Chains A and B, each alone.
Chain A
Amino acid sequence: QKEVEQNSGPLSVPEGAIASLNCTYSDRGSQSFFWYRQYSGKSPELIMFIYSNGDKEDGRFTAQLNKASQYVSLLIRDSQPSDSATYLCAVITYDMRFGAGTRLTVKP
């Protein structure tokens, strides 16, 4: 079992819709959770981090964490074509582990 798993996609949503990206992790001792956005050929950039169960909102982005289910998600409201990218879930246990990423396409 991979330490951090994501649906590779591609996930396609129309402009203005909500995009929902999901991630599960295997280590119950994981403490910190991150979402990175990566455009093709570019470096990953941090969008959000979350440490506690529940929701954390930042603009159009909401991260949701459920430690009991070992599940973290990212919601993107009012999706824009510029949101089209690969989204990486990352989890810190003793080190930071990345999922393989979900490719999101937002169609105008």
Chain B
Amino acid sequence: EAQVTQNPRYLITVTGKKLTVTCSQNMNHEYMSWYRQDPGLGLRQIYYSMNVEVTDKGDVPEGYKVSRKEKRNFPLILESPSPNQTSLYFCASRGAHGYTFGSGTRLTVV
């Protein structure tokens, strides 16, 4: 089954404690992206990657890092999380007819 697997689904952490959200796709897509979704603001792109070792900033990259060492994996790294990064995060992989989204990670930073 074609899918984007994102983990964890839920995460509560404390300010400043580094965390990684994993994302993996099995569709051999070159393009992957991370979004955050906040009430009233819709989906905002954090980072995207057009291929292995090619990443670029989206609209809201501050406080986030990504890497793309393999085509299938695109982890999101928060080096020093802050409460304003509390949000719902989605990884997505883009094929010929749009994005396939992961199931989401609800992150709470206290």
Contacts and interface: CB of A to CB of B under 8 A. Distances in A.
Interface of A: 8, 32, 34, 36, 41-46, 49, 88, 90, 95-96, 98-101
A49 B97 contact: yes
Interface of B: 33, 40-43, 45, 48, 88, 90, 94, 97-104, 106
B34 to A, nearest CB: 13
A43 B90 contact: yes
6 contacts: A43-B102, A43-B104, A44-B43, A88-B42, A96-B94, A100-B40
Contacts of A99: 42
B98 A98 contact: no
Contacts of A46: 97-100
A8 B102 CA distance: 24
B98 A90 contact: yes
B100 to A, nearest CB: 8
A98 B99 CA distance: 11
